[in-house]
């Protein structure tokens, strides 16, 4: 299964639209994970329209009308993805996200997905692989537009970072 992992689109407050190449990667995936901060119901609707399947969480600037959970899980090919935005101070971010992942971990391999910082990262923290795709629109303070494509097959995970 091919999973597009995006976050922090911030449309319209910090960006006008999702770049075409990101849209194409989402459309080409079997599933999309969005780690919050869509920014508006219209931005959420855009992602819903382009993603064949979507797992998403609410971010700290998302309006309540988007009505998403703070934490979501996705089980694919023997791997559990725990998705949270990571809302809160940057100090303690890694420990906070790893703690949330630990609370929702599966019996097998578990990978955490978060956003909030706009900085793309792929780190091992607290015994879990944590992915932060950065910002799918390059919204400030992101240094560039970024996302991950994750290929999952029979418990094996291959993560590719894409930037533009």
When the pLDDT of each residue in the chain is averaged and rounded to a whole number, the result is: 97
Q: At a CB cut-off of 8 Å and minimum separation 6, what does 38 contact?
A: 9, 10, 11, 44, 47, 56, 59, 62, 66
Give residue 127's domain range: 2-163
Contact in structure between 31 and 1 (CB atoms under 8 Å)? yes
Give SS3 for 81: strand
Neighbours of 164 (CB within 10 A): 12
Beta bridge partners of 162: 147
Model confidence at 73, pLDDT cuts 50, 70, 90, reads: very high
CA dist 141 and 46 (Å) reads 22
Residues 74, 106: contact at Cβ < 8 Å? Answer: no
As a whole number, mean pLDDT of residues 24-32 equals 98
CATH number at residue 151: 3.60.21.10
Region 84-110: mean pLDDT is 95
164/19 Cα distance (integer angstroms): 9
Q: Is the dihedral of CA 114, 59, 28, 139 positive or negative?
A: negative
Total domains in the chain come to 1
**pLDDT (tens digit, 9 = 90+) per residue, 105-157?**
989 899 999 999 999 999 999 999 999 999 999 999 999 999 999 999 999 99
């Amino acid at each position: 299964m091919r999973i597009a992992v995006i976050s922090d689109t911030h449309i319209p407050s910090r960006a006008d639209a999702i770049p075409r190449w990101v849209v194409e990667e989402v459309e080409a995936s079997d599933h999309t994970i969005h780690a919050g901060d869509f920014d508006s119901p219209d931005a959420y609707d855009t992602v819903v329209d382009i993603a064949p399947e979507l797992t998403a969480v609410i971010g700290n600037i998302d309006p309540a009308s988007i009505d998403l959970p703070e934490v979501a899980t996705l089980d694919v090919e023997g791997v559990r993805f725990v998705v949270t935005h990571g809302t809160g101070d940057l100090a303690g971010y890694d420990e906070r996200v790893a703690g949330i992942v630990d609370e929702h971990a599966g019996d097998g391999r578990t990978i955490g997905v978060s956003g909030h910082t706009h900085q793309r990262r792929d780190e091992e923290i607290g015994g879990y692989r944590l992915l932060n795709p950065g910002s799918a629109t390059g919204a400030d303070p992101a240094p560039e537009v970024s996302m991950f494509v994750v290929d999952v097959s029979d418990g094996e995970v291959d993560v590719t970072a894409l930037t533009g």
